[in-house]
């Protein structure tokens, strides 16, 4: 049995760097940028007006005042998407709308509200400063500027930025394919009425959704009975994926065949059993190029272990760094239980107290691996080190983000 930190290090050491693929910009939400993206041209590409008004030569209005207004003749009006047909000469002006191209000869814009219009003439009652209300070429960024760095997760703003500079496609890291397999004679699919001691399989739905949130492409391998031949066949189907995640069948029960079957398939075991609670019987290794992570069958243990191990692994595959998502420092809102021989990861939600400190509160007093209700509303996992039997209320603790929790968008 190895400690959590060592298990995580061994997992991340096996993470392959996935290649890139080109996708349409509007379909790249949540994807990870393969290479640093530099501006192909300055933005804006042409000087344009920040306001509705009149493009002028600032020198023409140097002496303008309320007592001595200066008259300029309006020779044209330019809207967004148009270019002026003539230049602004001394004594003239061209009307410009917001976003309209600044005509040659002009170096400032006087807003409509600051002038009086009289037919084809305007009267300006104040000087204009050169550059006033003008968005200059490259005012947002120059050509060649590094806009987005390799490993950036593309959110709405990043998608908009790529479209802003005219990109139709962008090169992103390929999504890791994650095969999900639930094992156990007792399991039946949701939607089918249970008989006797049958249990609905929740792990496939939970872990598939977590894989999707983590940027993976989940592949459901279905339900597998506790049968070595069937297990071999279903695992073989997952070997085309980057990662196989299984639940159940990897402990020491009489019908836990998974470890034996994997070794018969050429499995290279990297570790077995981790000193954590919940989730001790975790198995990790590889079959050829495919990584295999076998998790406990209890729904809480499976979800917690996926968040602790599979999520950082998928981040590393997708070139998201740091691979381990950052957590928070919080104050224990109540006494938190620990264990003598294992690290404990307790489901908590966070709140702010009157001093604006983050306070971690258990989602359920019962933190057993069979209490799935403790997962709902959980923001993170309060980490209690091995050998600490109790964290007193008010002590500072580390809280790791829980994949799928309410604050996940900040750390995906």
Given this model, what pLDDT does residue 369 score? 84
Q: Could you tell me which of 56, 79, 243 has the C-alpha nearest to residue 131?
A: 56
Report the predicted TM-score, pTM, of the whole model to 2 decimal places.
Answer: 0.89
- Superfamily the domain 328-410 falls into: MoeA, C-terminal, domain IV (2.40.340.10)
Instruction: Please state, in angstroms and as integers, the Cα–Cα distance from residue 167 to each residue in 42, 171, 234, 405, following that order.
Output: 14, 11, 42, 33
pLDDT at 269 over 90: yes
Give the model's confidence band at 408: pLDDT under 50 very low, under 70 low, under 90 confident, else very high: low
pLDDT at 232 over 80: yes
User: Hunting for tokens 């890791």 — which residue is that?
Assistant: 176
The pair phi, psi for residue 300, each rounded to 5°, is -65, -45
Mean pLDDT (the chain, rounded): 95
Cβ proximity of 9 and 322 under 8 Å: no
- Tell me the CATH number for domain 48-135: 2.170.190.11
Domain ranges of the chain: 4-18+175-317, 20-43+139-173, 48-135, 328-410
Q: Could you tell me which of 19, 320, 40 has the C-alpha nearest to residue 162?
A: 40
All residues at 6 or more sequence positions from 301 whose CB lies less than 8 Å from its CB, including other chains: 278, 279, 295, 369
- Tell me the CATH number for domain 20-43+139-173: 3.90.105.10
Given this model, what pLDDT does residue 275 score? 98
pLDDT tens column, 38-53 = 999 999 999 999 999 9
What percent of the chain has a predicted confidence (pLDDT) above 90? 92
pLDDT at 180 over 80: yes
116: β partners: 123
Which fold would CATH assign to domain 4-18+175-317? Molybdenum Cofactor Biosythetic Enzyme; Chain A (3.40.980)
- Cα separation, 221 vs 261, in Å, equals 16
Give the model's confidence band at 412: pLDDT under 50 very low, under 70 low, under 90 confident, else very high: low
pLDDT at 107 over 90: yes
Cβ proximity of 202 and 376 under 8 Å: no
pLDDT at 398 over 80: yes
Given this model, what pLDDT does residue 136 score? 98
pLDDT tens column, 306-322 = 999 999 999 999 999 89
Question: Do 48-135 and 328-410 come out as alike in CATH topology?
Answer: no
Task: Kindly report which listed range (33-47, 270-284, 321-335, 396-410) carries the lowest average pLDDT score.
Answer: 396-410
pLDDT at 113 over 90: yes
Mean pLDDT, to the nearest integer, of 379-405? 96
Given this model, what pLDDT does residue 373 score? 86
**H helix runs in 165-199, sequence order:** none
Residue 332 preceded by cis peptide, ω within 30 = no
Mean pLDDT, to the nearest integer, of 146-170? 97
Mean pLDDT, to the nearest integer, of 381-390? 97
Given this model, what pLDDT does residue 207 score? 98
Give the model's confidence band at 409: pLDDT under 50 very low, under 70 low, under 90 confident, else very high: low
Token pair, residue 387, equals 């050998």
pLDDT at 212 over 60: yes
Given this model, what pLDDT does residue 387 score? 96
pLDDT at 277 over 70: yes
pLDDT at 410 over 70: no
Residue 344: exposure state from Cβ atoms within 10 A (0-12, 13-18, ≥19): buried
What percent of the chain has a predicted confidence (pLDDT) above 70? 98
Of residues 410 and 229, the one with the higher pLDDT is: 229
Question: What DSSP state is assigned to residue 309?
Answer: I
Give the model's confidence band at 112: pLDDT under 50 very low, under 70 low, under 90 confident, else very high: very high
Given this model, what pLDDT does residue 411 score? 55
């Amino acid at each position: 049995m190895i400690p959590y930190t060592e298990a995580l290090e061994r997992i991340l050491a096996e993470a392959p760097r996935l290649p890139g693929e080109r996708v349409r910009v509007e379909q790249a939400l949540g994807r990870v940028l393969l290479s640093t993206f530099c501006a192909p041209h300055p933005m804006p590409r042409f000087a344009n007006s920040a306001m509705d008004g009149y493009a002028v030569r600032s020198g023409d209005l140097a002496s303008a005042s309320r007592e001595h207004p200066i008259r300029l003749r309006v020779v044209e009006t330019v809207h967004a998407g148009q270019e002026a047909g003539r230049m602004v000469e001394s004594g003239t002006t061209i009307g410009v709308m917001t976003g309209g191209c600044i005509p040659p000869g002009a170096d400032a814009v006087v807003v409509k509200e600051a002038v009086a219009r009289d037919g084809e003439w305007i009267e300006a009652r104040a000087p204009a400063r050169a550059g006033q209300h003008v968005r200059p070429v490259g005012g947002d960024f120059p050509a060649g500027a590094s806009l987005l760095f390799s490993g950036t997760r593309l959110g709405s703003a990043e998608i908009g930025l790529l479209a802003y500079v005219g990109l139709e496609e962008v090169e992103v890291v390929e999504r890791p394919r994650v095969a999900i397999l639930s094992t156990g004679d007792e399991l039946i699919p949701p939607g089918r009425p249970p008989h006797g001691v049958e249990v609905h399989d929740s792990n496939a739905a939970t872990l598939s959704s977590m894989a999707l949130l983590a940027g993976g492409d989940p592949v459901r391998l279905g339900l597998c009975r506790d049968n070595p031949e069937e297990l071999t066949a279903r695992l073989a189907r997952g070997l085309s994926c980057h990662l196989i995640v299984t639940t159940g069948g990897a402990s020491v029960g009489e019908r836990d065949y998974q470890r034996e079957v994997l070794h018969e398939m050429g499995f290279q075991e990297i570790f077995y059993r981790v000193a954590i609670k919940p989730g001790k019987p975790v198995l990790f290794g590889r079959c050829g190029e495919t990584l295999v992570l076998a998790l406990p069958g209890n729904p809480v243990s499976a979800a917690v272990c996926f968040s602790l191990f599979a999520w950082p692994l998928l981040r590393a595959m997708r070139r998201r760094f740091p691979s381990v998502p950052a957590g928070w420092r919080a104050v224990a809102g109540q006494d938190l239980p620990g264990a003598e021989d294992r690290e404990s990861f307790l489901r908590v939600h966070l709140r702010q107290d009157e001093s604006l400190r983050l306070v971690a509160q258990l989602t359920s007093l019962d933190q057993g691996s069979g209490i799935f209700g403790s997962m709902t509303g959980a923001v993170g996992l309060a980490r209690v080190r091995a050998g600490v039997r109790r964290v007193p209320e008010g002590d500072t603790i580390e809280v790791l983000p829980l994949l799928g929790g309410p604050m996940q968008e900040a750390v995906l």
